[in-house]
A and B are shown apart, each in its own frame.
Chain A
Amino acid sequence: MAKKKTEQKAWPEKWHEVNPGCMVFAAGNAANTKTGSWKSQRPVWDNAKCIKCGICYIFCPEACIQDTQDGFYEANLDYCKGCGICAHECWPGAIVMREEEE
């Protein structure tokens, strides 16, 4: 069953194409999976209220919130699942969740 790594397909179509032990040799490809398409709401920042405390950055379970050059924060919507934790934790109330259709 043990095939050479170079012979293996990136994604198995048939059972005999499955890598031994389902090993994935192309490590570090998690960033290719964009999870942002799942969200129904997105976080929107009001920088007038933001005190740059970084609570949203710390609490984001997807690690998709990054600080901008001027010290404020924004979410990378490719990876934001719209869970709303940032808005819930933002005590100055600078983040609101807005429906995707709006």
Chain B
Amino acid sequence: MGKRVGMEVAIAAAEAVALCNIDVAAVYPITPQSHIAEHMADIVHDGRIDAEFITVESEHSAISACAGASAAGARAYTATSSQGLMLMHEILPIVSAMRLPVCMANANRAVSGPLNIWNDHSDIMPQRDSGWICLFTENGQEVIDLSIMSFKIAEDPEVMLPCVVNIDGFQLTHMIEPFELPSQAEVAKFLPPRKPFAQLHPDNPISMGCFAMPDTYAETVKAKDVALRGAKKVVTRVFADWAKRFGRKYNVVETYKAKDADTLMLTMGSMGETASAAVDEMRKAGRKVGLVKLRLWRPFPVEEFKAAVAGCKTLIVMDRALSTGGAGGPVATDVKSVLYGEKKKPRVLNVIAGLGGRDLAVRDFENMFDLASKKKDETFEFYGVRE
């Protein structure tokens, strides 16, 4: 078994990636991701791993360098946050369209303006359709585990797609926690060296990222969508493999006290831990409340999600982002579309909360629950906004 250590989660994320035998890291520092970048640079500088650390000039360059390295057959890694992710936006769909298994940590942070460095999910939501596998973490141990698993998922011959692990900025990245760091030998057994399907090499020239006319483009989009949807099967398989080797079980959709619940709350990311505590409190008060947590956000785990909410009457979606001018939070709008065709479906209520790093304590979840319960229609509501 691995060693039990205590360290900052951002440092642990870099340590976990170092165990993955990466070849190239191209990272541009940005708050609250900087500690990942700095520690990654330290690890490479100290010669602890045989990798190239590229000190790029922007996030656009960072993801481009990773794309190039991955096309040449390397295991490439990057990390970013907020505005940095926005700068990567142009390259993100290219990386997925070229089926390059680049892995990335995204320290979730609000998007400017106004300038804000604290946590919410408004950076990843505009990128959700870029064809990346998108995972959310809840605590430090999950950051380590999912960072390592992300390489295995991304590089699977059935998948060959990039993967982003979302780590709530500050709430997680700057937290010092105890966790179990797997040993190098265990990770090496779990994650063999990358075997690329095809790679750029002068002896065997191929072209990647070609031009497609209107008569071919739609077919390529469909092929990519099918590949991304198919990735769910591999994610489940890798989760099962991890549980067998390391004893920590993960599901694409997690539930907590949801079996007999009338009302379910739905969260993503670090909110889940506080929400679990809120569920415990509300259960003590005799309310039949449960919790659903989406670990896998893209591809959306449609069947697992439907099964998780099958018995409940009301579903309260706590969104940490807003689709400005849209129908509410991005998670709630997705959830509503997924349930639209169902005959028997819960009422979906949506609360937007915790934007720009505003604290959400146990009491806040109880308040949000009360706020949503009073609602008559299925529109969204801001929580904690002064009026």
**Which residue in B99, B207, B222 is a CB contact (below 8 Å) of A15?**
B222
Residue in contact with A27 in the complex, picked from B97, B206, B216, CB distance below 8 Å: B206
**B97/A1 in contact, CB under 8 A:** no
Please tell me which stretch of B12-20, B134-142, B223-231, B349-357 contacts chain A, meaning at least 4 of its Cβ atoms lie within 8 angstroms of it: B223-231
Which residue of the partner chain A has the closest CB to B198? A23
Q: Check if A21 sits within 8 Å of B216, measured CB to CB.
A: no
What distance in Å separates the Cβ of A4 from its nearest Cβ neighbour in chain B?
A: 10
Residues of the A chain whose Cβ atoms lie less than 8 Å from the Cβ of B99: 20-21, 23
Interface mask (A73-98 → B, CB under 8 Å = 1, otherwise 0): 00000000000000000000000000
- Verify B98–A2 contact, CB threshold 8 A: no
- B220 sits at the interface (CB 8 A): yes
Measured in the bound complex, the distance between the Cα atoms of B219 and A21 in whole Å is 12
Q: Is B285 an interface residue (CB 8 A)?
A: no
* A1 in contact with B198 (CB, 8 Å): no
| A2 touching B206 in the complex, CB below 8 Å, given contacts A12-B219, A21-B98, A21-B100 | no
- Give B98's nearest chain A residue, CB to CB: A21
Query: Given A1-B158, A1-B226, A2-B157, is A18 in contact with B219 using a C-beta cutoff of 8 Å?
Result: yes
A31 interface residue (CB < 8 Å to B): no
Contact between chains at A27 and B208 (CB < 8 Å): no
Count residues of chain B with CB under 8 A from any CB of chain A.
25
Is A21 in contact with B158, judged by CB distance below 8 angstroms?
A: no
How many angstroms from the CA of A21 to the CA of B216 in the assembled complex?
13
Contact with B along A32-63 (1 / 0, CB 8 A): 00000000000000000000000000000000
B contact residues around A25 at 8 Å (CB): 198, 206
Q: How far is the CA of A1 from the CA of B96 in the complex (A)?
A: 14
Taking the nearest CB of chain A, how far is it from the CB of B195, in angstroms? Answer: 11
**A12 to B223 CA separation, bound complex (whole angstroms):** 11
B209 proximity list for chain A (CB < 8 A): 21-22
User: A1-28: which residues lie under 8 A (CB-CB) from chain B?
Assistant: 1-2, 5, 12, 14-18, 20-25, 27-28
20 A-B residue pairs with CB within 8 Å? A1-B223, A1-B227, A2-B197, A5-B198, A12-B216, A14-B219, A15-B218, A15-B219, A15-B220, A17-B219, A18-B220, A21-B160, A21-B198, A21-B209, A22-B97, A22-B208, A23-B206, A24-B206, A27-B205, A27-B207
Q: Contact residues of A with B, CB < 8 Å?
A: 1-2, 5, 12, 14-18, 20-25, 27-28
